Chain A
Amino acid sequence: MTEAATGGTDGAPQFPDGAAVRVKALMPPGHVRTPAYLRGKRGIVERRLGPFPSPEQLAYNLPAERLPLYRVRFTMAEVWGPAAERPDDTLDAEIYGPWLLPED
């Protein structure tokens, strides 16, 4: 796999705390831990959580590569648009590096 596909070699983080990121808007079938409601949404790295084995491989009892995991903070306005109950309430979720893109 290329570095871009794995989100960094051996779980090394590619985004610093506070980085703006966007969740990839992919819709594959199968076991992934990125909630659909956050796909395509822009957030900020709240903190880096270190490397964790890939759930997509663990799910099938395969040897799992280590991926960087991030807590990403989204505003309700970003996630739900005008339907947000209150725009500046926030939503934090853990997202693995391969599901994140840098965002300006």
Chain B
Amino acid sequence: MPHDHHDHDDHFHHEGISPSGHPYRADDDTPLTYWQTMEIAVRELLVEKGHVTAAEIAAQIDRMDARSPANGAAVVARAWTDPAFREHLLADGSAATREMGFDIGPMHLLAVENTPGVHNVIVCTLCSCYPRNLLGLPPDWYKSRAYRSRLVREPRRVLSEFGLTLPADTTIRVHDSTADMRYVVIPERPAGTEDWDADRLAALVTRDSMIGTGLPRPAA
């Protein structure tokens, strides 16, 4: 029963970093589940049969980990400060964000802009479609029965539960991501930021403001 890897494990646990550079996570030490067992088995079979390499999987995880709402915030802040980019983003969101290094892959990005009197909000009632190239992986609530069921029927009530109460004369446009488009909301630029540059503005752009369940932070 060879267990020579234990020495390595102890070493790497001590360092807190795996050989591939990923921090070890708590799930490494919890009892193995059926579905974890399947993940290992499927991955090994695919690698052994030449359908994918371990390096491809690691690189894909790195790409995923590099995606966060900071990507979307950079896009929004640029749209606020660069009129030509804003036009491009609204006309062809996939191309405009790809130019910034945020490739949406085979999907298509559609940017929807909040204006005085119009507020946009995004949902996927059929599954969990989300602009992963700009925002990373979706939060649990976005995938929940409550959000998927209720947003299309009572958006004002749902938004109020997020702490967002809109003026009565604001029109709400709900976007259900039913097919090949992915959506991002361009929120309204906060007042009092007229002389701010894009980097400073990006810090005001929250994830929820790009889903439509929130607004950007106010200028302090």
Contacts and interface: CB of A to CB of B under 8 A. Distances in A.
Contacts of B172: 86, 89-90
A39 interface: no
A93 interface: yes
A49 B108 contact: yes
B198 interface: no
Interface stretch (B13-21, B33-41, B175-183): B175-183
Interface stretch (B48-56, B57-65, B96-104, B148-156): B148-156
A91 B122 CA distance: 10
A35 interface: yes
Interface string B153-169: 11111000000000000
Interface residues of A, number: 23
B175 A92 contact: yes
Contacts of A49: 108, 180-181
A94 interface: yes
Contacts of B125: 35, 37
B43 interface: no
Contacts of A89: 155-156, 171-174
A79 B153 CA distance: 9
Interface string A3-42: 0000000000000000000000000000001110100000
A49 B175 CA distance: 15
B130 to A, nearest CB: 15
B78 to A, nearest CB: 23
B152 A34 contact: no
B46 interface: no
A34 B180 CA distance: 12
Contact of A94 (B155, B171, B174, B181): B181
B126 interface: yes
Contacts of B110: 71
A79 B152 CA distance: 9
B171 A35 contact: no
A93 B178 contact: yes
B108 A92 contact: no
A34 B171 CA distance: 24
Interface string A84-103: 01101111111110000000
Nearest to A94: B179
Contacts of A34: 178
Contacts of B178: 33-35, 93-95
Interface in B163-220: 171-181
Contacts of A85: 153-157
Interface of A: 33-35, 37, 49, 52, 55, 69, 71, 79-80, 83, 85-86, 88-96
Given A89-B174, A94-B179, 20 more contacts: A33-B126, A33-B178, A33-B179, A35-B126, A35-B178, A37-B125, A85-B153, A85-B156, A85-B157, A86-B156, A86-B172, A89-B171, A89-B172, A90-B171, A90-B173, A91-B152, A91-B176, A92-B173, A92-B175, A94-B177
